[in-house]
Structure 1
Amino acid sequence: MLRALVAFEVFRTPGRVTRALVNSNPEPLREAWRHLSIESRSALARQVDDLEARGIEAINAGDSDFPKSLVVGGKPIVPTLFCQGDLSLLTAAGAGMCGSRKVTPLGLKAAKACGEEVSDRGLTVVSGYAKGVDTATHLAALGRGGRTVIVLAEGINAFRIKREFRERFDPSRVLVVSQFRPDQPWAAYAAMARNHVIFGLGKALVVIEAGEKGGTLSAGRDALKRGRPVFALNFGEETPVGNRLLIEAGAHPVTSRTELGVALDHVKSEPQQGTLI
């Protein structure tokens, strides 16, 4: 935990933080610690105590338990993962789920059905923590007795159990993950970066509703570039523009709950994917 916090404090940018954490030579981080002021060291020590008291752990790039699916071309895509909950879900077979916060009623109904299909097949739902599609897929999984990974677009200190989750939230079936320093506030760029963890942890990405621009469309395109199977819902004439664009780019169109189930069964049967190319 302290290594990650020192790296964020001193090296700042994700790339430099990652390089510090994957370095097998501990001396650069030790040197960074020695050059910090007494006040900074004390503040970092208090952060460690606070995070550990809340059951939060840091899985750093370069650690043996860092997910291999988040390594691209031999390089981790994030410096660290601050995690709270069931750590086994980091490497459990799952499906990423994404869509708009301003989801249509049809999309919201589809999000619930997709979350249930993922859960019914023993897969973990992996999604963000925004209203709309994210919330619907998590709640569908939890309501089905399944498991879910909440990937934050801000630091883990900001995490609170939302009112909609209170009746179904089960710490033994939920993992909360943040790739950012613990006190980082929400930002649009962070939400875009967070999407790489969502489809990285999942064996496939299910796109509920994507606009003609925005984070969901970008996530689908990036997942395709990384070789992840992408399933874009096809609502016929009501299919969102972004979904159509993703299907044209190579996403698999899914027109029914049954089709998604068959596709998920196929993905689940494939060997767990390791390093992305």
Structure 2
Amino acid sequence: MFLALVAFETARTPTRIDAVLREKGVTGLEELVDTLDEDQVIECKNKAEKLHGRGIFAVMRGQSLYPDMLIHKEKASAPVLFCYGNDQLLNAEGIGMCGSRAVSELGMSAAVACGEEVSSRGLSVISGYAKGVDTATHLAALRSGGSTVIVLAEGFDHFRVKKVFTDHFDLERLLVLSQFPPGQPWHAHAAMARNKVIFGMGRALVVVEAGERGGTLAAGEGAIRMGRPVLVLNFGKDTPPGNRLLLDKGGYPVDNRESLGRILDKRPRRQDASQLSLPV
């Protein structure tokens, strides 16, 4: 934990932190400790103790728990992950899910159905903890006895268990993670960066509702560029404009929960991060 905090205090940006870890591993961060003054070292140590006391731990690129799925073309956009909950979910098979905060009634029902379909197959639901689709998919997983990964768009100092999660917040079946330093507040650009972890950790990305611009559309486009299968809900005449755009760009249409189930049932078991095809 201490070295994870040192990474943000010294190298500062994910790109620079990743370069240090890629070249020298944790040893590179140990060398950076010497560039801090005494007050900075004390501050990092005190912060590490407080986070540890809350049950929060850190995982960095190169360590055994770090999910290699997040390394793309030798680079990791989130080389440090602060985590709370079941660490086994870092490398469990999962499906990313995203959609609008201002989700329609139809989209909300679909989000719940998708979360249940994913969970029923022993896959973890990976989403972003925002209201609307994200919350619906997390809760669908937990209520059906499955597991979920909550990917924050801010640091852990700003994390609170939402009231709707109170009865279902089971740390055996849940992992909360943040790629940001603990004190960082929510920013739109951070939410965009957070989405890379959602579709990076997942075997595929399910898009429930996407507008013609915004974070959900950008997540779908990013997943397509990375080579992740993007499963886009098709509501016929009610299909949102962003969903139509993603279908035109190579997303796979999902017409109902049964069709999603059929796609998931045909998935290959994960062997390594390079085998990501999902036959449809």
| Cα shift readout 1:56-102 (whole Å, capped 9, x = no counterpart) | 11111122321110011122221211111001101111100000101
Superposed CA RMSD:
1.5
- Give the whole-Å Cα distance in 2 for the aligned partners of 1:159 and 1:136: 18
1:150 aligned partner: 150
Larger mean CA deviation between 125-134 and 52-61 belongs to: 52-61
Other-structure match for 2:79? 79
2:234 is matched with 234
* Residue 273 of structure 2: aligned partner: 274
CA contact (8 A) 1:115 1:138 kept: yes
CA contact (8 A) 1:115 1:137 kept: yes
Question: Which shows bigger deviation, 102-111 or 13-22?
Answer: 13-22
Q: TM-score, normalised by structure 1?
A: 0.95
Distance 1:178-1:26 versus aligned 2 partners, 3 A rule? closer
Cα separation, 2, equivalents of 1:170 and 1:26 = 31
Q: Using a 3 Å threshold, how does the CA distance of structure 1 residues 26 and 80 change in structure 2: closer, same or farther?
A: closer
1:191-210 maps to which residues of 2 (within 5 A)? 191-210=191-210
- SS in structure 2 of the partner of residue 223 of structure 1: helix
Check conservation: 2:21, 2:28, Cα contact below 8 A: no
Deviation digits for residues 173-203 of structure 1, max 9, x if unmatched?
Answer: 0000101111111000000011010011110
SS of structure 1 residue aligned to 2:101: coil
Gaps spanning 5+ residues in structure 2: where?
Answer: none
Give, in whole Å, the separation in 1 of the partners of 2:27 and 2:69: 28
Kindly state the Cα deviation for residue 34 of structure 1 after the two structures are TM-superposed: 2.2
The SS at the match of 2:92 is: coil
Preserved CA contact (<8 Å) 1:233 1:243: yes
Q: CA deviation at 1:12?
A: 1.3
Q: How much has 1:273 moved relative to structure 2?
A: 4.2
Match of 1:107 in 2: 107
Higher RCO, 1 vs 2 (CA within 8 Å, ≥6 residues apart) = 1
Shift of 1:128: 0.3
Is the Cα–Cα contact under 8 Å of residues 2 and 48 in structure 1 kept in the other structure? yes
What does 1:134-173 correspond to in 2, within 5 Å? 134-173=134-173
CA contact (8 A) 1:74 1:275 kept: no
Q: In 2, distance between residues paired with 1:237 and 1:26?
A: 53
Number of the residue aligned with 2:22: 22
**Normalization by structure 2: what TM-score?**
0.94
SS at match of 1:167: helix
State the secondary structure of the residue aligned to 2:168: coil
Unaligned runs of 5+ in 1: none
> Residues 160 and 206 from structure 1, CA distance in 2 versus in 1: closer, same or farther, beyond 3 angstroms?
same
Distance in structure 2 (CA, Å) of the matches to 1:262 and 1:105? 24
Q: CA, structure 1 residues 262+234, in 2 after alignment: closer, same or farther (shift >3 Å)?
A: same
Specify whether residues 156 and 275 from structure 1 end up closer, same or farther in structure 2 by C-alpha distance, changes over 3 A only: farther
Inter-partner Cα distance in structure 2 for 1:260 and 1:77? 29
